Amino acid sequence: MKRFTALLLAAALVASCGSPRPAAGPAAEPTSAPPAGVSVSLAQWRSDEPVHVLEIAVTNSSDTPVYFSDVQLVTASFKTLPPQRADALLRRTPRTDLRIPYGEANCSTKGLPELSPATVVAHIRTGTEELRRVLFPVPHPDPLLTRLLRDECSAFLVKQAADIEFGPTWTEQDKAMRGSLVLTRKGEGTVAVQDVGGTTHYIVTPAVRKRPLAVLEAGARQVELPVALTPGRCDPHAFAEAKKAFQFPVRATLDGGEERVVIVVPPKPLQERLTAYALRTCGLGG
């Protein structure tokens, strides 16, 4: 009887304690402040805009070499990507760029978000010491991140209401490639195209002369905007260094609000047709 009572008492004690606590996870990796004389800023070359890449610009004003094993941009405004390998030994230098991709902007359907503070996280070695994790605060608000967030989330807002794409039919006529941009209903709201910009290679001439150029009314499913494309530059250097030849900026408004820029890229087969047309028109084709 005493043994049975003891077992009941033990069971009651276990029940009163609830579920056992989960085992503690590994401790967070310790971080430290940047070494003296080493600072970072953010930059972006024009050729890196279309591929979602930026540069961590590192300055080392000290006489001690600093080795960067990897770097990572961390901010609530953009999705965090894994650390990117750098493998760079930086002696005294006014600026050395470490090129890394950055994540998509964290946008909201309620409007343009405010930029959150950013940090560059890096594993570095100063002189002969061991690798350590260092946090480099980015001065807030950073102008580059402000622009990238604004541009990406502006396009996001328009894209919630409608897709803007190159139409399927393009023909060469009167030394121009003629086709259309197509707005197709996706969500709610009236989308109006105010302007279509050209690129380093192509001039865009809309068939409509008045503003807005095209309007997808709230109840409409689709609308087309006829346009003509002609070569903007015919020198061989321009073709060889084409970085943004097919990044067409379309300025659009949503429900009469401020203009937003949506970058529209033609599909690969149409890009090839446009390139062949431009080379032929410029007298550079084989």
What is the pLDDT, as a whole number, of residue 241? Answer: 62
Query: In the predicted model, what is the mean pLDDT of residues 246-270?
Result: 94
Per-domain residue ranges of the chain: 31-141, 159-281
Structural tokens at position 179: 């086709």
Question: What is the chain's length?
Answer: 286
98-120 pLDDT, tens per residue?
999 999 999 999 889 999 999 99
**184 vs 129, which has greater pLDDT?**
184
* AA letter at 99: R
DSSP 258: -
Residues with Cβ within 8 Å of residue 59, at least 6 apart in sequence: 38, 39, 40, 41, 93, 94, 95, 96
Q: Is the pLDDT of residue 125 over 60?
A: yes
Using a cut of 0.85, tell me whether the model's pTM lies above it: no
**Residue that wins the pLDDT comparison between 28 and 24:** 28
Domain 159-281 is of which CATH architecture?
Sandwich (2.60)
H helix runs in the chain, sequence order: 2-17, 143-161, 236-240, 268-281
Q: Are the C-beta atoms of residues 177 and 201 closer than 8 Å to each other?
A: no
7 pLDDT above the threshold of 90: no
Residue 5 pLDDT greater than 50, yes or no: no
Percent of the chain surpassing pLDDT 90: 75
b/e sequence 51-76, b meaning 16+ C-beta within 10 Å: ebebbbbbbbebeeebbbbbbbbbbe
- Burial (CB < 10 A; 0-12, 13-18, 19+), residue 120, is buried
* DSSP string computed for 193-237: EEEE---SSEEEEES--SSSSEEE-TT-SEEEEEEEEEES---HH
pLDDT-derived band at 235 (thresholds 50, 70, 90) equals confident
Taking only Cα atoms into account, the Rg of the chain, rounded to an integer number of angstroms, comes to 28
Asked if residue 18 has pLDDT above 70, the reply is no
Stretch 207-230: mean pLDDT, rounded?
Answer: 95
pLDDT above 90: residue 248 = yes
Return the CATH number of 31-141, one of 3.30.420, 2.60.40, 2.30.29, 2.40.50.
2.60.40
What is the model's pLDDT at position 236?
72
Q: Is 11 left (phi over 0), alpha (psi -120 to 50) or beta?
A: alpha
**Cα dihedral 75, 76, 82, 85 in deg (nearest 10):** -10
